Amino acid sequence: MLEDKDLRSVQEVRTRVTEAYEAFLQYKSFSQEQVDAIVDAVAAAARANAESLARMAVEETGYGNVPDKVAKNLLNSDTLHRYIRPMKTVGILHEDEAQGLIEIAEPVGVIAAILPTTNPTSTAFYKSLIALKSGNAVVISPHPRANRCTCEASRILLEAAVAAGAPEGIIQCVNEATIAGTNELMRHKRTSIVLSTGGPGIVRAAYSSGKPALGVGPGNVPVLVDSSADVDEAVASVVDGKSFDFGTVCSSEQTLVIEESARDRVWAALKANDAFVCNEEQTAAIEALLITSDFRINPDCVGQSPQKIAEMAGFSVPLDARILALELWGIGRDYPLSAEKLSPVLSVYFVKSFEEGIEACRGVLNFGGRGHTCVIYSKDRERIKRYGVAMPAYRVLVNTSSPQGSTGITTNVAPAMTLGCGAIAGNSTSDNVGPLHLINIKRIAFKVREAEEAFTSEEGRRFMSGESLPQPAAVPVAAAPVSGAGISDAVSRYLAKRGLPTGSAPASAPAPVRSATPKPAASVASVVDRFLSGRARPADSAPAPTAVVAPPEEPRPPAPVIRSVAFVCEGDVRRARDTDQKIYIDSRTIVTPAARDLDSGDEIIIKTD
């Protein structure tokens, strides 16, 4: 028996991937009807165990609460199942005789499914269902803190799949997951694609595995309440979203942005919806507790109740408090509570206008949530569109709680637990990931035209008929006359700009002490004329001079002083990368985890000590 846990995990992964691949080779020949029957059975089993698995997840991880974990489980066994049920994912997807195209679905193979600790059973439902619907096998790697509940969920789903006719091994779960085992899963030769949900480190590992990967970015969701919105309704909806599973969903609301004129109404509405409003001293205590000195979230606070977080911060709140609300005085590196908090803590930020609100929301996203999700409450359609265009986020939700809207519970976006954040966050997609992301499409293409019919421009017609293509007309460039006097004048202006003598000095100015006497302007002109006389000019073939006297060498500027910055966030690294610059830090510099993960090759952030 292997004593090393990592070695055992690696060996188990190899065994499970092999078994999953063998099951896939059988499953890939199943018809759409057979696949749908299996997916139906798996979804039914997931629904039947939604509550027991939710309870197990809370007991094992200590994150979130049972009712909201049940809702997540039902999202991924009820809403998701209903959404993907009509999809055609097997065999011929589309046939267009007029266009001469036939499109055929090809499953990719074995899916490596990396799961988070915050949503351990609902994500197992989600990834298993979309993998089976797309004709693939799946190997699940649980988070070590959620191993028992994830493996139990996988066992229930596998039993239902096999009972409905699926091959044994079509759903696999690693019982002893470690970092070494997870890396082996992502890099295994039989793994076809990595579907990764979790923190920046595991997502970066997925993209670095050498396999195609679908991952996510961090969420830092801003919510703008426009002056046209009903403040009471908007705040009630925000509290519903922020309190959902104690803030563990990556698309949970983080900062509420609203105009100063609504200050009193906002605080009153928050209190009416059982939000505990923190005073300045309590806010400072929450900040010190929740965000560490290196801008990480205190893991002891993730997914905890408002009562427990308040107790940890040194004060108490009523038992009916659903969230903790506090005022934010700025956004960015000097205001840690403008970052993602993964807990039922809501920041409130007041602005003077709608335009200032847009800038504030953009600042929140750039501070750690680029590409993810943002929300607006408004009745003004033009303002909604302006907000949507301006936001660096790919889910712009309108008049809905963010966790419910982003995952497809209250909106018509695809139900999903993997929410892509696009290229601006280093992700390969901005979609809510579903079955169609896990198939490749083969195209049978018939000849529909002759080659000469493909080009319709005049250039294309002439090329296909063998004629010469017209050449673009040359643009004449007038040669500027060069003279010694002109260059002498330019040299004199250059020297004067730097306070150097140009041939004569004012009578009142003392002559500078120099190692060599500078040439006067007339002398410079004569040198230049002698130099030019030896150059090839139009209608001039004078021989080259035997020597060339160069003008005095310009003094070199002093070497730049490299100053280290005090703080680096994700937005700083992206700006430096886009402008081809470096960021210099020292041992005192605070660098956020998102910034370090983005600069994975240590090419942008340079340490000076």
Name the one residue in this structure whose structure tokens are 């995990």: 9
The reply to whether 374 belongs to the active site is: no
Q: What's the DSSP call for residue 337?
A: G
Closest residue by Cα to residue 596 from 573, 567, 576, 578? 573
In a 13 Å sphere around the CA of 606, the CA atoms on its Cβ side amount to 12
Q: Which two structure tokens, joined as six digits, stand for 563?
A: 């100053």
- What is the C-alpha separation between 358 and 223, in angstroms, rounded? 10
Nearest-angstrom CA–CA distance, 367 and 332: 6
Choosing from 149, 151, 250, 278, which is the catalytic residue?
250
Contact 222, 328 (CB under 8 A): no
Q: Which residues contact 280 (CB under 8 A, 6 or more apart)?
A: none
Q: Tell me the two tokens of residue 210.
A: 């050498």
What is the distance between the alpha carbons of residues 274 and 321, in angstroms, rounded to a whole number?
Answer: 5
Token look-up 């009562």 returns: 307
Q: At what angle do helices 263-272 and 231-243 cross, to 10 degrees?
A: 50
**Residues 439/407, Cβ–Cβ less than 8 Å:** no
Contact criterion met (CB below 8 Å) for 32 and 89: yes
Amino acid at 496: A
Is 48 strand, coil or helix?
helix
* Pair of tokens at residue 382: 């033009």
Q: Are 484 and 526 in contact (CB under 8 A)?
A: yes
Can you say how many angstroms the Cα of residue 600 is from the centroid of all Cα atoms in its chain?
A: 14
- Please provide residue 597's backbone torsions phi and psi, each rounded to the nearest 5 degrees: -65, -35
Residue ranges with strand state E in 328-402: 345-351, 371-377, 393-398
* DSSP state letters, 75-116: IIIIIHHHHHTT---SSEEEEETTTTEEEEEEE--EEEEE--
The 8-class DSSP code of residue 414 comes to P
Strand 191-196's sheet: what is its strand order?
171-173, 137-141, 110-114, 191-196, 213-214
Residues in CB range of 253: below 8 A, 6 or more apart: 221, 223, 238, 241, 242, 346, 375, 401, 402
Contact indicator for 345, 322 with CB cutoff of 8 Å? no
Q: Where are the beta strands (DSSP E) in 230-358?
A: 253-259, 275-277, 323-327, 345-351
Tokens of residue 517, six digits: 């006497």
Q: Tell me how far apart the alpha carbons of residues 591 and 382 are, in angstroms, rounded to a whole number.
A: 38
Which two three-digit tokens encode residue 589? 């510099």
Dihedral in degrees, nearest 10, Cα atoms 533, 538, 540, 541: 100
d(CA 548, CA 490): 19
Distance CA 386, CA 389 (A): 5
Query: Which residues are marked as active site?
Result: 250
